[in-house]
Amino acid sequence: MKRYIFLLLILIGLTSCSRPFGKSKILSKQEFVSVLVDIHTFDAIVTDYTLNSYTVNLDSLSIYSSIMEKHHTTGESFRATMEWYSARPEKLSAVYDEVFGELTKREQELNDELKLFNSSNLKTLYSKKDFNLFRGDTARFPEPIIISTEGKGTYLVDIQLRMLSDDKSINPKIVASFIKDEKELNPKDKIIITESTIQKSNFSRDYQNHTELNDESYKFIKLVVPQTDNSDSVFFKNLQISSIRVSFVMPTAEKDSANVKSDGTISVR
């Protein structure tokens, strides 16, 4: 809570000395709530870095450019909206009631996800911990990773990487999908697991996602890190991949069966 309040004071401080914004669009309440939720999530919640190190670059709102782009707005409109609400404390309080409610919901979802990632029923399907650096105009991004599935159940994707702010990738994302055949003969016949936007930053980030598979006809997972709108172009890249892990949460009955030896004894690990 202190983090949220401190960051709010910083944001208000950034707008208090600003010039009049004239015809800058004032965001609707819901748009404003959505932007604030992402701002608080971005580096204040998802990462464990302290606000002292986080706020070093907060001399402008340029650090939020990717969030503004996601919500189809601008830093100027955001500042104008913050200024408008700052002059109306009761309305700002109502906005933050919704922001805190959504953050609480996200926190619970994150806790539930962490329990999955720490489950004793976890089976690793793919793991790569080698440090990979893709830097310079001649660097090529890695080929897609194809992983066999284990049937119905919950699949988890955990990727740690850093894409620096000077990387010129357009719309970089982590894209994982369930597919029925390795060659993707029918590209439309797939189930999206995640399309996580890669945030450009000086900090390494952990991108996690879990998805339930209920159709055994999907035999593979296709993982592309990163997928960009200009992956075939010559441009400067600055991507550092630390680790990639894809796991499967084994149903309890399946795990118990896997631990039973051929002679009927139980294998304890």
Q: Give backbone dihedrals phi and psi of 267, rounded to 5 degrees, phi first.
A: -90, 120
Give yes or no: residues 87 and 184 share one domain. Answer: no
State residue 229 phi and psi, 5-degree precision.
-80, -10
Rounded to the nearest 5°, which phi and psi values hold at 8? -60, -45
pTM for the full predicted model: 0.59
User: Is 257 among the domain residues?
Assistant: no
Asked whether residue 260 is domain-assigned, the answer is: no
Are residues 125 and 238 located together in one domain of the fold?
A: yes
Q: Classify residue 52: in a domain, yes or no.
A: yes
Question: Is residue 26 located within the same domain as residue 69?
Answer: yes
Q: Give the range of the structural domain holding residue 47, as residue numbers without chain letter.
A: 2-116
Return the structure tokens found at 68. 């503004």
CATH number at residue 184: 2.60.120.260
Q: Which whole-number Å values give the CA distances from 130 to 133, 157, 240, in the listed order?
A: 10, 17, 10
**Which pLDDT score, from 0 to 100, does residue 112 have?**
72
Domain-embedded: residue 269: no
Q: For residue 86, is it within any domain?
A: yes
Domain match, 106 and 185 both: no
Is the domain of 161 the same as that of 101? no
Alpha-helical regions (H) of 153-233: none
Based on the fold, state whether residues 83 and 47 are members of the same structural domain: yes
Question: Does some domain include residue 261?
Answer: no
- Can you point out the beta strands (E) in the chain? 122-128, 132-135, 145-148, 153-163, 173-179, 190-197, 205-213, 220-227, 238-249
> Are 89 and 154 in a shared domain?
no
- For residue 106, is it within any domain? yes
Domain count, the chain: 2
- Co-location of 110 and 159 in the same domain: no
Residues 76 and 12 in one domain: yes
pLDDT of residue 19: 43
Q: In terms of domains, do 24 and 101 share one? A: yes
Question: Are 125 and 247 members of one domain?
Answer: yes
Residue 67 lies in a domain: yes
19 and 48 co-located in one domain: yes
Q: What is the pLDDT along the chain (269 residues), one digit of tens a residue?
A: 444 544 554 454 444 444 444 456 899 999 999 999 888 877 554 454 444 343 344 433 445 677 787 888 888 898 899 999 999 999 999 999 999 899 888 777 777 766 766 767 789 999 998 888 999 888 888 899 999 999 999 999 999 999 998 898 888 999 999 999 988 777 778 999 999 989 888 888 889 888 999 999 999 999 999 999 988 788 889 999 999 999 998 775 554 444 434 343 333 22
